A and B are shown apart, each in its own frame.
Chain A
Amino acid sequence: MIWLTWRQFRLQAWVIAALVAAIAVALLVSAPGLFDVYRDTGMAACTGACETALDAFKSEVGNSAYFAVYLVGSAAVLLLPALIGVFWGAPLVSREFESGTHRLVWNQTVSRGRWLAVKLAGIGAVAILAAGLLSLVVTWFAGPIDRAGDFGRVTPLLFSARGVVPMGYALLAFVGGLAIGMLTRRLLVAMALTLVFVVLSQLAAPYGYREHLVAPATSSTGFDAERIASLWINQANQVHIELTAPERSAWVLSNVTVGPDGREYSGPVDPTACGRAGGPDECHAWLAQQGLVSEIEYIPSDRFWALQWREFGLLLVTAGLLSAFCLWWIRRRVS
């Protein structure tokens, strides 16, 4: 059974292995240069605010090949689960149904449950391995740039492309594709639906449950003109103010500036101070007298690993339940 699994899987396996290897090699080749820049600009040794080192590092890396490699690597980690789901998971059972070969293989001396269990375990392990290796190299390479960039790795843009969660997404995509293929019995339909499934599974975390996996931090500080991140005033003199979060690379969940009544402050502002007549300084001075408080809820970057392991665990449990369903279905319901 293991031989048959490998024989039927080896082409898809080599294609994706070659893809992962090519990206890993590109990252490994670029890494020494990037780490040199990281050290030479003083970023590596710096622990405080590091304004000068940060600017030097950004100007060195910003338009270099390192940044291109960084983007490609991050994109590859995000795309790998989709490839695994569509090309490893979806065809696994649906192709047998389409060619009728399930009637051949299930009449050898092997039960349907065992046939599926070997494929599920074997290819699932390879999926975890591929995603784990790629994520390991990308996470390591991207460390300096993640630290210097405007988005921390705990933010949704980078979180799913770092650490251990890519392994969970890869496994879920594989099992999900397999289940969809088993239910639809049509190869192309299964591949299309699997793509949708993988995209939804990756969007569900940042837009749904991820922020509930760890307790967020909150900060409540008085209005400080130095920390203004955005300030909008419209024709009706209504205002929208956001201050910067206490930590630059945190994932900001909500950012509101409230007035003395405890509700979101929206003005109206004094047109003489904040209208066309007054300059920004007058407006800031006027706003400072309004007793405004900035309330920010955020997930600090030091919760990164706690969040990673919890989301990874959740993905593993989901993939496990889905696998159990597949094994039950193939024994009971499938012809």
Chain B
Amino acid sequence: MSDVVTIEGLTKNYGRRTALTDCTLDIPAGHVVGLVGPNGAGKSTLLQLICGLLSPTAGHISVLGAPPQSGSPRVGFVAQDTPVYAGLTVAEHLRLGAHLNPRWDASLADGRIAELGLDPRQRAGKLSGGQRAQLALTLAIAKRPELLLLDEPVAALDPLARREFLQGLMAYAAENGTSVVMSSHLVADLERVCDYLIVLVASRVRVTGEVEELLGTHHRLSGARRDPDTIGPGRHVVAASHTDVQSTLVVRSSAPIEDPSWSVDGLDLEDLVLAYMSEAGSSGRDRVLEKR
């Protein structure tokens, strides 16, 4: 399958502050992609570069085979904090969408609003956080984009609204085969809906891949204390923690690990992401994670 986004050597600086460093990345089509990383990792910057709201300091991006441009009919974007016009009613937002988008799907938009039980005459400023997010999502998908970008769409929502939002998003993506890229600083939000993962930490891409494959190739090893460098070829230590007698390693290896001196466990997605986050958190090439 082709790639919806290709990124090469992408760097973005705000003045002297670096938001994204030398990022190279391909996002394949037809996936629901989770973009995960701690606050300030550069997730918003990356999404805004992809939708053309920002222009890169260096490097190259191609979105659906063309340079990114805001106002493209093929890309939908739900910005952080799901902004809507507080003074406009729900119905007026749909009218805005209909006026500004030639491919506007009015029946989809009206249907979603009715399904959600939103009063079209209500001002958007009076909506709850969950309703506002749903309205912003409706605007983005009724535009019928081929690529849908969502920047922390559920960060401000309560658990119930969070689940409803993600269900709506999943239903739409599954029905239409739209590629979705969604960022979050919480793995739990992404775990249920994403089949592809990008981990972004401290302005760098740490790991990308399909969730199934990532889970299959990462192992937690525990055993008697030893130097992580002796683990052997083809195996990459993502994170390591040591007590006086025991070492625990998170290792990436495509081949199964059959060393009897280790006890080998699988990882869940959250542990995997945390391992990469802590890798970046430690200084330099030292990959030791102190976990006392």
The A-contacting residues of B in range 84-124, CB under 8 angstroms, are 84-88, 92, 95-97, 99-103
B101-A103 in contact (CB<8A): no
Q: Which residue of A lies closest to B84 (CB)?
A: A104
A108 & B88 in contact (Cβ 8 Å cutoff): no
Contact at A110–B71, with CB atoms within 8 Å? yes
Binds B, one of A2-10, A29-37, A317-325: A2-10
A272 CB–B CB distance under 8 Å = no
Given the interface pairs A103-B77, A104-B84, the reply to whether A109 lies near B54 with Cβ below 8 Å is no
Do A107 and B71 contact each other (CB < 8 Å), given the known contacts A3-B95, A100-B79? Answer: yes
Q: How far apart sit A250 and B143, CA to CA, in the bound complex (Å)?
A: 63
Query: From residue 238 to 276 of chain A, which have CB atoms closer than 8 A to chain B?
Result: none
Which residue of the partner chain, among B54, B71, B83, B92, contacts A335 with CB atoms under 8 Å? B54
Q: Which of B72, B75, B83, B102 contacts A103 (CB 8 A)?
A: B83
Which chain A residue shows the least CB distance to B81?
A100
- In the complex, the answer to whether B101 meets A108 with C-beta atoms within 8 Å is yes
A289 within 8 A of B: no
Residues in B whose Cβ lies below 8 Å from that of A4: 96, 99-100
**Once bound together, how far apart are the Cα atoms of A107 and B68, in whole Å?**
11
Q: Counting CB contacts under 8 A, is B51 at the interface?
A: yes
Residue of B55, B85, B97 near A108 (CB, 8 A) is B97
Which A residues lie within 8 Å of B176 (CB)?
A: none
Interface 0/1 of A1-40, CB less than 8 Å to B: 1011001100000000000000000000000000000000
The residue among A103, A107, A108, A109 with the most chain B CB atoms within 10 A of its own CB is A107
Residues of A within 8 A of B83 (CB): 99-101, 103-104
Question: Chain B contacts of A221 at CB under 8 A?
Answer: none
List the A side residues contacting B23 at CB < 8 Å: none
Interface pair B75/A107, CB less than 8 Å apart? yes
Residues of A within 8 A of B103 (CB): 109
Interface presence of B238 (CB below 8 A): no
Contact with B along A95-115 (1 / 0, CB 8 A): 000011101111111111011
> Which one of A3, A103, A111, A112 contacts B79 once the chains associate, using CB atoms below 8 Å?
A103
Known: A103-B77, A109-B72, A335-B48. A1 touches B100 (CB 8 A): yes
Q: Please classify how large the interface on chain B is, using the bins under 10, 10 to 19, 20 to 34, 35 or more.
A: 35 or more
Instruction: Name the A residues within 8 Å of B81 (CB-CB).
Output: 100
What interface size band does chain A fall in? 20 to 34
Residues from chain A with Cβ under 8 Å of B102 in the complex? 109
B71 touching A104, Cβ below 8 Å: no
In the bound complex, what is the Cα–Cα distance between A49 and B100 (angstroms)? 64
* B187, CB-defined interface residue at 8 Å: no
Residue from the list A1, A104, A335 in contact with B85, Cβ < 8 A: A104
State A3–B99 Cα separation when bound (angstroms).
8
Q: What CA separation (Å) do A106 and B53 show in the bound complex?
A: 8
Question: Does B190 belong to the interface (CB within 8 Å)?
Answer: no
Residues of A close to B76: CB separation below 8 A: 107
Q: Are B70 and A104 interface neighbours, CB within 8 A? A: no
Q: Which of B69, B99, B140 contacts A1 (CB 8 A)?
A: B99
B73 to chain A: closest residue by CB: A109
A335 CA to B68 CA, complexed, in Å: 13
Contact B96 A107 (CB under 8 A): no
Chain A residue numbers with a CB within 8 Å of B84 are 101, 104
Question: What 0/1 pattern do residues 47 to 80 of B give for CB contact below 8 A with A?
Answer: 0100101110000000000000111110111011
Complex CA gap A106/B54 in Å reads: 12
CB within 8 Å for A106 and B143 given contacts A1-B99, A7-B92? no
Indicate with 1 or 0, residue by residue over B213-232, a CB within 8 angstroms of chain A CB atoms.
Answer: 00000000000000000000
B136 located at the interface, meaning its Cβ lies under 8 Å from any Cβ of chain A in the complex: yes
Flag if B73 contacts A112 (CB, 8 Å): no
Please name the residue on chain B nearest to A113 by beta carbon: B71
Residues from chain A with a CB closer than 8 A to the CB of B53 are 103, 106-107, 335
A99 to B96, CA, bound (A): 17
Interchain nearest-CB distance for A108 vs B (Å) = 4
Bound form: Cα–Cα A255–B3 in Å: 78
* Distance of A108 Cα from B51 Cα, bound (Å): 11
- Please indicate the chain B residues that have their CB under 8 angstroms from the CB of A111 in the complex: 69-71
- CB-based nearest A residue for B76: A107
Chain B residue with minimal CB distance to A100?
Answer: B83
Given contacts A1-B99, A108-B143, A111-B70, contact A7 B77 (CB under 8 A): no
Q: Specify which chain B residues have a CB less than 8 angstroms from the CB of A107 in the assembled complex.
A: 51, 53, 70-71, 75-77, 79, 140
Does B249 touch A at the CB level, under 8 Å? no
List chain A positions with a Cβ less than 8 A from chain B: 1, 3-4, 7-8, 99-101, 103-112, 114-115, 335
25 A–B contacts, CB within 8 A, in A order: A1-B99, A3-B99, A4-B96, A7-B96, A8-B85, A8-B87, A99-B83, A99-B86, A100-B81, A101-B84, A101-B85, A103-B48, A104-B79, A104-B136, A107-B51, A107-B53, A107-B70, A107-B75, A107-B79, A109-B72, A109-B100, A109-B103, A111-B71, A335-B54, A335-B55
The 7 closest A-B pairs by CB, nearest first: A103-B79, A108-B100, A100-B83, A107-B77, A111-B71, A109-B73, A109-B101
Given known contacts A111-B70, A335-B53, what 7 new A-B pairs fall within 8 Å (CB)? A1-B99, A3-B96, A101-B85, A103-B48, A103-B80, A108-B97, A111-B69
